[in-house]
Protein backbone atom coordinates (compact mmCIF):
# COMPACT_ATOMS: atom_id res chain seq x y z
CA UNK A 1 0.00 0.00 0.00
CA UNK A 2 1.23 3.47 -0.80
CA UNK A 3 0.91 6.55 1.38
CA UNK A 4 -1.74 7.88 -1.00
CA UNK A 5 -3.77 4.65 -0.80
CA UNK A 6 -3.53 4.66 3.00
CA UNK A 7 -4.80 8.25 3.16
CA UNK A 8 -7.65 7.34 0.80
CA UNK A 9 -8.57 4.43 3.08
CA UNK A 10 -8.38 6.71 6.10
CA UNK A 11 -10.67 9.18 4.32
CA UNK A 12 -13.18 6.38 3.66
CA UNK A 13 -13.47 5.57 7.34
CA UNK A 14 -12.78 8.86 9.12
CA UNK A 15 -14.79 12.04 8.62
CA UNK A 16 -13.72 13.82 11.82
CA UNK A 17 -10.90 16.24 10.87
CA UNK A 18 -9.35 16.01 14.34
CA UNK A 19 -9.07 12.24 14.16
CA UNK A 20 -7.56 12.44 10.65
CA UNK A 21 -5.02 14.96 11.89
CA UNK A 22 -4.22 12.72 14.85
CA UNK A 23 -3.50 9.79 12.51
CA UNK A 24 -1.24 11.97 10.35
CA UNK A 25 0.56 13.28 13.45
CA UNK A 26 1.20 9.72 14.60
CA UNK A 27 2.36 8.85 11.07
CA UNK A 28 4.85 11.74 11.22
CA UNK A 29 6.19 10.53 14.57
CA UNK A 30 6.43 6.98 13.28
CA UNK A 31 8.42 8.10 10.24
CA UNK A 32 10.88 9.94 12.49
CA UNK A 33 11.33 6.90 14.74
CA UNK A 34 11.79 4.61 11.74
CA UNK A 35 14.53 6.92 10.52
CA UNK A 36 16.19 6.99 13.96
CA UNK A 37 16.10 3.20 14.21
CA UNK A 38 17.03 2.67 10.55
CA UNK A 39 13.75 0.87 9.83
CA UNK A 40 11.32 1.04 6.91
CA UNK A 41 10.05 4.63 7.07
CA UNK A 42 7.20 4.04 4.63
CA UNK A 43 5.89 1.01 6.50
CA UNK A 44 6.05 2.71 9.87
CA UNK A 45 4.31 5.78 8.47
CA UNK A 46 1.51 3.62 7.02
CA UNK A 47 0.88 2.09 10.43
CA UNK A 48 0.53 5.58 11.87
CA UNK A 49 -1.89 6.66 9.17
CA UNK A 50 -4.09 3.58 9.59
CA UNK A 51 -3.84 2.86 13.32
CA UNK A 52 -7.16 4.53 14.26
CA UNK A 53 -9.03 4.29 10.95
CA UNK A 54 -11.94 2.38 12.51
CA UNK A 55 -12.16 4.38 15.74
CA UNK A 56 -14.86 6.81 14.59
CA UNK A 57 -17.24 4.22 13.12
CA UNK A 58 -16.46 1.29 15.41
CA UNK A 59 -15.16 2.63 18.74
CA UNK A 60 -16.42 -0.37 20.73
CA UNK A 61 -14.42 -2.86 18.67
CA UNK A 62 -11.41 -0.70 17.74
CA UNK A 63 -9.04 -1.77 16.15
CA UNK A 64 -10.69 -5.05 15.17
CA UNK A 65 -12.48 -3.64 12.11
CA UNK A 66 -9.22 -2.11 10.88
CA UNK A 67 -7.48 -5.44 11.29
CA UNK A 68 -10.22 -7.22 9.35
CA UNK A 69 -10.09 -4.70 6.48
CA UNK A 70 -6.30 -4.76 6.27
CA UNK A 71 -6.21 -8.57 6.36
CA UNK A 72 -8.75 -8.71 3.51
CA UNK A 73 -6.51 -6.32 1.57
CA UNK A 74 -3.53 -8.62 2.26
CA UNK A 75 -1.65 -5.75 3.89
CA UNK A 76 1.75 -6.45 5.45
CA UNK A 77 1.26 -8.61 8.57
CA UNK A 78 3.76 -6.43 10.47
CA UNK A 79 1.53 -3.38 10.00
CA UNK A 80 -1.53 -5.36 11.04
CA UNK A 81 0.23 -6.64 14.14
CA UNK A 82 1.50 -3.19 15.17
CA UNK A 83 -2.02 -1.77 14.85
CA UNK A 84 -3.35 -4.63 16.96
CA UNK A 85 -0.61 -4.19 19.57
CA UNK A 86 -1.19 -0.45 19.95
CA UNK A 87 -4.56 -1.32 21.52
CA UNK A 88 -3.87 -4.78 22.95
CA UNK A 89 -0.60 -4.03 24.70
CA UNK A 90 -0.04 -7.64 25.72
CA UNK A 91 0.60 -8.18 21.97
CA UNK A 92 3.56 -5.77 21.86
CA UNK A 93 6.56 -7.70 20.59
CA UNK A 94 8.72 -5.76 18.16
CA UNK A 95 10.30 -2.33 18.08
CA UNK A 96 7.68 -1.44 15.45
CA UNK A 97 4.89 -2.35 17.89
CA UNK A 98 6.56 -0.38 20.67
CA UNK A 99 6.95 2.68 18.47
CA UNK A 100 3.30 2.77 17.41
CA UNK A 101 2.11 2.41 20.99
CA UNK A 102 4.59 5.08 22.09
CA UNK A 103 3.76 7.58 19.37
CA UNK A 104 -0.02 7.30 19.64
CA UNK A 105 -0.72 9.01 22.95
CA UNK A 106 2.20 11.41 22.91
CA UNK A 107 1.63 12.68 19.37
CA UNK A 108 -1.95 13.51 20.25
CA UNK A 109 -0.91 15.13 23.51
CA UNK A 110 1.78 17.30 21.94
CA UNK A 111 -0.70 18.32 19.26
CA UNK A 112 -3.19 19.32 21.97
CA UNK A 113 -0.47 21.36 23.67
CA UNK A 114 0.09 23.26 20.43
CA UNK A 115 -3.61 24.02 20.06
CA UNK A 116 -3.73 25.89 23.38
CA UNK A 117 -0.80 28.12 22.47
CA UNK A 118 -1.81 31.65 21.48
CA UNK A 119 -0.44 31.26 17.93
CA UNK A 120 -1.39 27.55 17.62
CA UNK A 121 2.05 26.87 16.09
CA UNK A 122 4.55 24.20 17.05
CA UNK A 123 7.54 26.44 16.33
CA UNK A 124 9.21 27.14 19.65
CA UNK A 125 7.37 24.40 21.56
CA UNK A 126 9.54 23.27 24.44
CA UNK A 127 9.72 19.94 26.22
CA UNK A 128 9.18 21.70 29.54
CA UNK A 129 5.86 23.12 28.31
CA UNK A 130 4.63 19.64 27.38
CA UNK A 131 5.78 18.22 30.72
CA UNK A 132 3.98 21.00 32.55
CA UNK A 133 0.75 20.14 30.71
CA UNK A 134 1.27 16.46 31.57
CA UNK A 135 1.01 17.41 35.25
CA UNK A 136 -2.31 19.19 34.65
CA UNK A 137 -4.83 16.35 35.05
CA UNK A 138 -7.62 18.52 33.62
CA UNK A 139 -5.77 19.10 30.34
CA UNK A 140 -6.45 16.45 27.68
CA UNK A 141 -7.79 14.29 30.50
CA UNK A 142 -8.50 11.32 28.23
CA UNK A 143 -4.84 10.98 27.31
CA UNK A 144 -3.09 8.45 29.52
CA UNK A 145 -0.03 9.93 31.16
CA UNK A 146 0.93 6.43 32.21
CA UNK A 147 0.96 5.30 28.57
CA UNK A 148 3.15 8.25 27.57
CA UNK A 149 5.74 7.31 30.19
CA UNK A 150 5.41 3.62 29.35
CA UNK A 151 6.00 4.44 25.68
CA UNK A 152 9.28 6.18 26.42
CA UNK A 153 10.29 3.27 28.64
CA UNK A 154 9.46 0.74 25.91
CA UNK A 155 11.69 2.68 23.52
CA UNK A 156 14.46 2.82 26.10
CA UNK A 157 14.60 6.63 26.19
CA UNK A 158 13.70 9.36 28.65
CA UNK A 159 10.30 11.01 28.49
CA UNK A 160 12.10 14.25 27.66
CA UNK A 161 13.82 12.71 24.64
CA UNK A 162 10.56 11.13 23.50
CA UNK A 163 8.72 14.45 23.77
CA UNK A 164 11.48 16.22 21.83
CA UNK A 165 11.36 13.56 19.11
CA UNK A 166 7.61 14.00 18.73
CA UNK A 167 7.95 17.80 18.65
CA UNK A 168 10.59 17.42 15.94
CA UNK A 169 8.39 14.99 13.99
CA UNK A 170 5.35 17.26 14.09
CA UNK A 171 7.51 20.29 13.23
CA UNK A 172 8.81 18.62 10.09
CA UNK A 173 5.68 16.68 9.14
CA UNK A 174 5.10 16.14 5.42
CA UNK A 175 1.38 16.47 6.17
CA UNK A 176 -0.55 19.67 6.70
CA UNK A 177 -1.28 19.40 10.42
CA UNK A 178 -2.36 23.02 10.66
CA UNK A 179 0.30 23.81 13.24
Q: What is the Cα–Cα distance from 66 to 60, expressed in whole angstroms? A: 12
Sort 117 into a burial class: Cβ within 10 Å, 0-12 / 13-18 / 19+.
Answer: middle
Sketch out the chain's domains with CATH numbers. 3-171 (1.10.3210)
Total Cβ atoms within 10 A of residue 4: 8
pLDDT value of residue 36: 98
CB 179 within 8 A of CB 122: yes
The pLDDT value recorded for residue 171 is 97
This prediction's pTM: 0.95
Compute mean pLDDT per 10 residues along the chain, 179 residues long, and list them. Answer: 96 96 98 98 98 95 94 94 94 97 97 96 96 96 95 98 98 95
Amino acid sequence: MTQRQAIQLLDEYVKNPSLKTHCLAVASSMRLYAKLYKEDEDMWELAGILHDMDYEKFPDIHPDKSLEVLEEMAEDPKIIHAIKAHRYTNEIESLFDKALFSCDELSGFVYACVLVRPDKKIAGMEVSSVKKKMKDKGFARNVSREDMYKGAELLGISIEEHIQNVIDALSSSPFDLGI
